[in-house]
C-alpha cells in the first residue's frame, strides 16, 4: 500500500496511461479511450463513459486531479468529469461526477454488479469549473463522501442519506481510484484532459488503523498518522529491541539492547528493585460508586533538561469502566489543566487516546498498553473509571509507565 501521484509528464501514448512516477500502473477499464498527450491524461469523449484506475491499496482515500480544457469540444450534450474511488473492476465502483450541463452539478454515482445508479442523494448545483480547477473527493468505509472544488466543500453524503449505504463487497475490495469522463456528444470529437492526479490514505476516517515502528515493535498511534497502513507491512521491516531490565540505584532500567539481567519488569521488581513511576494506593470514598478520575503529579522523571518518550502504561487496582491516558509537554508547551480534568486532547501529538482496561472484581494488574508520547520533558497520566452501582468502590494501587530517555527505557 502506498500513496499515488501522477503528473503524466512522459512520452505521448495514444492507447495507455502507462505507469505513474510512484510505481503503480494505470488500467483502462474502457478499451482504447485513454492515453497521454502533451504531458496530460486524455480521455476521448464520445457516447460512452471512459474510466481509468490505479491501485493504491487503500479504500479510505483522498483522491484529486486538475481538470484541463474544460471548454474543449464545441457543442456538448452532457460532458461529465468525475473521480472514481473504491473501485474493484469495471462493474463495481463509486464515483463523484461533475456534470457540465445546465445546470452544473455534483452527484454521487455507483456501479454495483454492472448496474449504474446516480440516485443515492440529491445532486448539488455548483459553480462552473474553469481550466486548472481541482476536483477532490474524500471517502471512508462508513459511507461518508465529501466532494470539493478547489478545496471548497461542494457536496457531502453521509451514511443514512436517503437509501445510501456502503456496499460490503467494495468495502473489502475497492482499492482502486481513478478518472472518469463522458459520455458526451462532441462534434468534432475532442479529448477531455487531466493533470496532477493523486490518491492518498484518508487518515481522518473513524477507526483508521496505522502503525509506527518503535522500540516496542509495531504500535498503532491511534490517530491514523502511522507510517505503515497494515501490521504486516510494519512487521516486515520492524525488528523491536528486546526488552530487559537491570536494577540501577533501586530503579528497574532497560539498557535498550536486550542485555539486561531480568527478562520482564515484574521479575526486576520481584528482585526487590522498585519500579520507577508509581502512585500510592488511592481508595475512593464509600457509597454506591460514581465516575472518578485521578491525575498524579506532573513529573520530569528526575531529569528536567532531557526529553523523554513514554512507551507504555499499566495500572494495578480494582477497576470498573476504566481507561488511562498519558500527557506529555515539551519546553514552552502550555500545560492545559482543563484537559487533565476532563480527559480531552487539545494537543493530539503529545497525548494518547484513552487506553481501556478490562473490569476487575479484585485488585489486579492490568495488561501493559504500548503507547508512544514523544518530546515529553514533563509528563503525567490520567486514570478514569465509573463504578456507579458497585457497593465496593474502585481503587488504584499503582500506575506504572515505561519512559525512554536517550535510548534508555526506565
Which contiguous run of DSSP H or E holds residue 93? strand 92-100
Domains of the chain (ranges; CATH) run: 4-201 (2.60.120.560), 209-240 (no CATH), 276-409 (2.60.120)
Segment 70-82 mean pLDDT? 54
Q: Cα–Cα distance between 405 and 33 in angstroms, integer?
A: 59
Q: What is the pLDDT of residue 321?
A: 92
- 300: how many CB neighbours lie within 10 A of its CB? 14
What is the Cα 348 distance to its own chain's centre? 13
Question: What is the arithmetic mean of pLDDT over 328-336?
Answer: 88
Residue 69, all three cell numbers: 480544457
- Could you give phi then psi for residue 339, rounded to 5 degrees? -60, -45
Nearest to 83 by CA among 69, 99, 97: 97
List of E strands, 282-332: 282-283, 291-294, 308-318, 323-329
Query: What pLDDT shows up at residue 63?
Result: 95
DSSP for residue 132: T
Q: For residue 67, give the C-alpha cell.
A: 481538470
Q: Closest by alpha carbon to 284, among 391, 359, 400, 401? A: 391
For residue 322, the model assigns a pLDDT of 93
289 versus 275: the higher-pLDDT residue is: 289
Question: For 347-381, what is the HEC assignment?
Answer: CHHHECCCEECCCCCCCEECCCEEEEEEEECEEEE
Residues 56-62, mean pLDDT to the nearest whole number = 86
Give me the mean pLDDT over the 59-76 stretch.
Answer: 71
* pTM for this predicted structure: 0.53
Q: Which tens digit of pLDDT belongs to each residue from 181-214?
A: 876 555 555 567 889 999 988 877 776 677 888 7
End-to-end C-alpha distance for the chain, whole angstroms: 35
pLDDT computed for residue 78 by the predictor: 45
Q: What is the dihedral of CA 145, 152, 24, 36, to 10 degrees?
A: 120
Highest mean predicted confidence (pLDDT) among 19-23, 65-69, 162-166, 221-225? 19-23
CA atoms within 13 A on the CB side of 173: 11
Q: Is the pLDDT of residue 134 over 80?
A: yes
DSSP 243: P
Per-residue pLDDT tens digits for 164-175: 777 777 766 788
Please tell me the predicted confidence (pLDDT) of residue 211: 80
C-alpha distance from residue 12 to each of 114, 198, 387 (Å): 32, 20, 69
| Average of per-residue pLDDT values in the chain | 80
Query: Which range is most confident: 62-76, 111-125, 259-273, 319-333?
Result: 319-333
For residue 294, the number of C-alpha atoms closer than 13 Å in the C-beta half-sphere is 23
Q: Which tops the pLDDT comparison, 1 or 108?
A: 108
Question: How many helices and strands in the chain, by DSSP H and E?
Answer: 4, 30
Strand-pair category, 115-117 with 105-112: antiparallel
Answer whether 202's CB lies under 8 Å from 208's CB. yes
Amino acid at each position: 500500500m502506498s500513496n499515488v501521484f501522477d503528473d503524466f509528464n512522459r512520452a505521448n501514448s495514444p492507447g495507455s496511461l502507462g505507469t505513474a512516477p510512484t510505481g503503480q500502473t494505470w488500467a483502462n477499464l474502457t478499451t482504447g479511450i485513454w492515453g497521454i498527450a502533451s504531458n496530460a491524461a486524455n480521455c476521448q469523449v464520445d457516447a460512452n463513459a471512459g474510466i481509468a484506475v490505479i491501485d493504491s491499496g487503500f479504500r479510505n482515500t483522498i483522491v484529486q486531479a486538475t481538470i484541463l480544457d474544460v471548454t474543449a469540444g464545441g457543442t456538448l450534450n452532457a460532458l461529465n468529469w468525475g473521480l472514481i474511488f473504491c473501485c474493484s473492476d469495471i462493474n463495481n465502483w463509486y464515483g463523484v461526477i461533475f456534470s457540465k450541463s445546465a445546470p452544473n452539478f455534483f452527484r454521487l454515482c455507483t456501479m454495483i454488479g454492472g448496474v449504474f445508479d446516480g440516485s443515492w442523494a440529491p445532486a448539488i448545483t455548483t459553480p462552473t469549473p474553469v481550466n486548472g480547477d481541482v476536483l477532490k473527493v474524500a471517502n471512508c468505509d462508513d459511507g461518508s463522501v465529501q466532494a470539493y472544488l478547489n478545496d471548497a466543500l461542494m457536496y457531502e453524503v453521509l451514511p443514512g442519506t436517503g437509501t445510501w449505504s456502503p456496499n460490503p463487497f467494495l468495502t473489502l475490495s475497492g482499492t482502486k481510484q481513478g478518472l472518469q469522463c463522458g459520455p458526451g456528444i462532441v462534434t468534432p470529437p475532442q479529448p477531455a484532459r487531466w493533470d496532477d492526479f493523486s490518491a492518498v490514505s484518508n487518515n481522518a476516517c473513524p477507526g483508521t488503523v496505522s502503525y509506527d515502528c518503535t522500540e516496542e515493535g509495531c504500535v498503532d498511534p491511534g490517530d491514523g498518522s502511522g507510517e505503515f497502513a497494515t501490521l504486516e507491512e510494519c512487521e516486515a521491516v520492524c525488528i523491536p529491541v528486546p526488552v530487559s531490565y537491570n536494577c540501577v540505584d533501586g530503579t528497574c532500567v532497560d539498557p535498550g539492547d536486550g542485555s539486561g539481567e531480568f527478562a520482564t519488569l515484574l521479575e526486576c521488581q520481584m528482585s526487590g528493585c522498585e519500579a520507577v513511576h508509581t502512585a500510592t494506593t488511592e481508595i475512593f470514598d464509600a457509597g454506591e460508586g460514581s465516575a472518578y478520575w485521578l491525575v498524579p503529579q506532573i513529573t520530569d522523571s528526575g531529569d528536567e533538561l532531557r526529553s523523554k518518550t513514554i512507551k507504555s502504561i499499566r495500572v494495578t487496582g480494582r477497576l470498573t469502566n476504566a481507561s488511562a491516558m498519558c500527557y506529555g509537554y515539551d519546553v514552552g508547551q502550555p500545560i492545559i489543566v482543563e484537559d487533565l480534568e476532563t480527559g480531552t486532547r487539545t494537543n493530539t501529538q503529545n497525548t494518547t487516546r484513552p487506553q481501556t482496561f478490562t473490569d476487575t472484581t479484585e485488585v489486579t494488574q492490568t495488561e501493559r498498553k504500548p503507547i508512544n508520547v514523544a518530546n515529553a520533558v514533563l509528563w503525567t497520566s490520567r486514570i478514569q473509571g465509573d463504578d456507579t452501582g458497585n457497593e465496593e468502590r474502585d481503587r488504584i494501587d499503582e500506575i506504572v509507565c515505561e519512559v525512554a530517555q536517550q535510548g534508555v527505557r526506565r
